[in-house]
Structures are given as C-alpha cells and as structure tokens.
Amino acid sequence: MSQRADVVVIGGGPGGYEAAIRAAQLGLSVICIERRLHKGKPALGGTCLNVGCIPSKALLDSSHKYHDLKAGYEKHGIQFDGLKIDIPDMLARKDKVVDQLTTGIAGLLKGNGITWLQGSGQLLAGKRVEFTPHEGEAEIIEAEHVILASGSKPIEINAAPLVDDIVVDSTGALEFTEVPKRLGVIGGGVIGLELGSVWSRLGAEVVVLEAMNDFLTIADKAISKEAKKIFTKQGLNIRLGARVTGTEVNDQQVTVTFTDDNGEHSEVFDKLIVAVGRRPVTTGLVSADSGITLDERGFVHVDDHCRASVPGVYAIGDLVRGPMLAHKAMEEGVMAAELIAGHHAQFNYDLVISVIYTHPEVAWVGLTEERAKSEGYEVKAGQFAFAVNGRALAADDNAGFVKFVACAKTDRLLGMHIIGPGAGDMIHQGLIAMEFGSSVEDLQLMCFAHPTLSEVVHEAALSVDGRAIHAIQRKRK
C-alpha cells in the first residue's frame, strides 16, 4: 500500500529540511527523502553540513588558529615553543562538528513529526513520488505537493579528471591527511580561495589557477582589487588568465599544463583541487513524463515563488536560478512551505548576501558600484578602512575596508561591500538597512558604540558625503 503525505520533500539539505520543518509547523503531513550516505551512514544536511559550508569552516577556523599561533601572537607579547599540528585530530574535530549538526537535524525532523525516508526519490507524473530505499524495493508515495531540493555537486572538467586523493574536488580537499608541500587549485572563486587558504595556513605552497583575466568578478572592483593584494601577501600565488589544458598523475604527483597570455606552462603539485563551480543534481530526480521543465544547464524552471511547471510542485536552492548559497535555499524552502499552506510569502532576491570565509572575510549585498552604474543609477560611493579603527588596531586585525554604494538622487542605499574582520556578520547591518529602504543619512545619524569594528560602517556611510571624521575628506555637501 502506498504512503500519502501533504508534502513530500526530495532532499534533506538546508533548503529541504527547512521546508519540511516549516510545513510541519503549519500542520501539514510531511515526508522528507534523503539519499546521502556520509562516511557510510545516512545523513541529513546535504552538501552544506556534510561536505561543504560546515566542515570547510571548521578547517578554516582550525587553520586560522594555528596560523595565528605560529606567526601572529609575538606582537601581543605571547611567545612559546614546541608548536605542532596534528592533521588527523583536526579532521576528527571537523567530523565531530558535522555529526553534531546532522544528528541535530534528524532530531528536529523527528520532533516535528516528519517522516525521514533514507534513499532516493523521483517525481513521476501526477505528483506521485517513487521512493527507492538504500535496501529494499521501491514504493510509490502519493503527494498533494512536492518540493524538489536535491542540491548540487562539483563540476568536473575533462582537463583534470579526479584521481584518488591526488586530484580531488572540494569534498576530497576536506580529507587530506597531511599538508601537501605544493597544492594547486583550479578556480579562484569562493571555494578555491577558502580551501586554498586552509592548506596555505598549514604550510602548503598554494598556486591558484584562475581562467578569468580578472579576479573575483562577482565582487565590487574595489573589493576584488584589495582581496587579491591581501591574499597574495598571505602567500596565495594567484595566476589569472590561466586556462588548464591537461593533467597527468605520476608517482603520487600531478603535472598541470595550462596556458596564459605568455604561452603554455606546466606545474607539478602534490595535490590538486578542482574548484570550478557546481551544477544542479537532477539526474534521476524527475521522470520524462513528470511535466517538469529543465533548462539547457539542468536547472529546474521556476517562477519568482519557486513554483515549477507542474501545479503543486516547487523547486528550491541549487536546483534553480540564482546564487548557489545555503541561506538562499533555506529561505526558498520556507517560502515554498508557506505558500503550500496558503500563506502569503515572498523572497527578496535583490538582497542575498555573499560571503567568502577567508581571513579577512569578504562579504557583500546589493549592487556593486559597476552594476549600479550599468543599471542607470547616478551613483555616489564611499569607503572607510579598518586600518584606523581602534578596535581593529587593538586586535591587530585591521586589513580591508567597508564600502557603501548609494543613489546620488535619492540617497537610498544600493549596496554594501566589506573586506575585513567580521565581514560576514557586519554585512547584515547593510542588509537590514536596505531591506527597509534606508538612506545613507539614516546610517549617518545613528550612534555606533565605541570602540567597535562597526564604527567603520558608520564612517563609511559618512564618507559617502565626504563627512568621515577619522579621515581627511573634502566635504561633498
């Protein structure tokens, strides 16, 4: 006998499990299907909790602590001998963090009365879902509504096929059992910079091969320029316009061939990370007669409310247009659940925060200065450095700046961009301001606590009109 549910969610990652929980809170019967096996055990949390956001941040934090102990504390008058690193212990801590969170998600589903089915789900015609467990025979689930949330996976490239633990994707880069002497990273985006930073801090010589001629093209140009300068100073060898043409593995090393404006080159590495982006996981997700429309890149076609081409079916997260970010998937999942329950719900796609968890962190929300100008805005902008901020100087963590982009005619905030300490947290000040339609003057008139890093936000807002107190500026008005 087939099962029935008001909502069937295919995928238990951040978007999927939040959709399931919100639907259950709204009184709907919910089944969540997740096929992931992490280290041989069924696991919720998707890429983010198992092999993405969380484990990478655990290693970023561990490696940053090690790097500070090794090179950053003498300025504070702290000296010691005998520093060493135990990579297996570091990996064990990372796994413990992952287990704690994924176990917690399982508890949340159980506590909300959600049925977690461990295996694969495929949407069939008529909103029926075929569930195939890891062991056993397939069965049909009758659903009133279906939310597709199967996520994404790393893109593989023909020029650099994965080979054991030598040529790896972002997942494999979380499992190196020792620090490579020379590490190559194909891709200078968010994932490549974060993973490169981890192993660079631990002692690897890191070369980043980025095919684009410009660095971090998704960020504001002022931010990307500063980021390249800082990361290069930290030891990342960033090669722009480097297009990888082939790889060859011999004697536990990999030779990478690439071309740039100066011709063809080759480099030998102990490990190579392929971090050129991600693509949606749609193989086996929907049957040919399901009625779901995919585009040429494999994304599910949806409207602004994540409704797919079949009434009652939604798709969220990395399966659909927009940035592949866990927090975007989460909000889309909640929106889908609330729409299914008959509530009004919407999501502001213009204000999705992006964060790179290097050190210093890089974060932005809204329009870059270049994008604002291209969209026809008359722009005014201002920025202020952490270099003269008392709290940042006291902490010896004062690289970077805060930048605001605003409309010169209306004074409305259009974008906020940060490279500096705590950027991933401070960026939410700009998010809240822009969500409520704040002007630059609104921030200028606020009283920020002293001494705090957030004073840089205040000074950056003042600088838009040439009014920064702790910088020599010509007042604009």
Structure tokens at 425: 């947290």
151 assigned ligand-binding residue: no
191 assigned ligand-binding residue: yes
Mean pLDDT of 13-28: 98
Q: What is the pLDDT of residue 112?
A: 98
Residues 6+ away with beta carbon under 8 Å from 51: 38, 170, 171, 174
Per-residue pLDDT band for 475 (boundaries 50, 70, 90) equals low
User: Using one digit for the tens of pLDDT, what is the confidence trace for 242-266?
Assistant: 999 999 999 999 999 999 999 999 9
Q: What is the pLDDT of residue 415?
A: 98
For residue 208, pLDDT over 90 is answered with yes
145 assigned ligand-binding residue: no
Q: What is the pLDDT of residue 141?
A: 97
Quote the mean pLDDT of the chain: 96
Q: What is the pLDDT of residue 476?
A: 57
Decide if domain 360-463 falls under CATH 3.30.390.30. yes
Using CA of residue 262, residue 264, residue 269, residue 272, what is the dihedral sign? Answer: positive
Mean pLDDT of 66-73: 89
Give the residue with greater pLDDT, 472 vs 271. 271
Mean pLDDT of 6-24: 98
Mean pLDDT of 425-449: 98
Q: What is the pLDDT of residue 71?
A: 84
Mean pLDDT of 463-476: 87
User: Using one digit for the tens of pLDDT, what is the confidence trace for 33-43?
Assistant: 999 999 999 99
Q: What is the pLDDT of residue 74?
A: 86
326 assigned ligand-binding residue: yes
User: Using one digit for the tens of pLDDT, what is the confidence trace for 98-157?
Assistant: 999 999 999 999 999 999 999 999 999 999 999 999 998 999 999 999 999 999 999 999
- Give CA–CA dist 190/324, Å, rounded: 11
> Which class in CATH covers the domain with range 3-153+279-340?
alpha beta
Residue showing tokens 């490990």:
271
Per-residue pLDDT band for 282 (boundaries 50, 70, 90) equals very high
Q: What is the pLDDT of residue 79?
A: 87
193 assigned ligand-binding residue: yes
Q: What is the pLDDT of residue 75?
A: 86
Q: Where in the chain is the domain with CATH 3.50.50.60?
A: 3-153+279-340, 167-276
**Residue 450: active-site member:** yes
Closest CA to 199 of 227, 159, 168: 168
192 assigned ligand-binding residue: yes
325 assigned ligand-binding residue: yes
Q: Where in the chain is the domain with CATH 3.30.390.30?
A: 360-463
194 assigned ligand-binding residue: yes
Residue 384 CB burial class (10 angstroms; 0-12, 13-18, ≥19): buried
Q: What is the pLDDT of residue 473?
A: 80
Using CA of residue 345, residue 351, residue 355, residue 360, what is the dihedral sign? Answer: negative
Active-site position among 145, 344, 450, 458? 450
Half-sphere exposure (CA, 13 Å, Cβ side) for 464?
A: 30
Domain 167-276, CATH homologous superfamily name and number: FAD/NAD(P)-binding domain (3.50.50.60)
153 assigned ligand-binding residue: no
User: Using one digit for the tens of pLDDT, what is the confidence trace for 319-358?
Assistant: 999 999 999 999 999 999 999 999 999 999 999 999 999 9
Q: What is the pTM of this model?
A: 0.96
Q: What is the pLDDT of residue 477?
A: 53
For residue 2, pLDDT over 90 is answered with no
CB atoms within 10 A of CB 256: 23
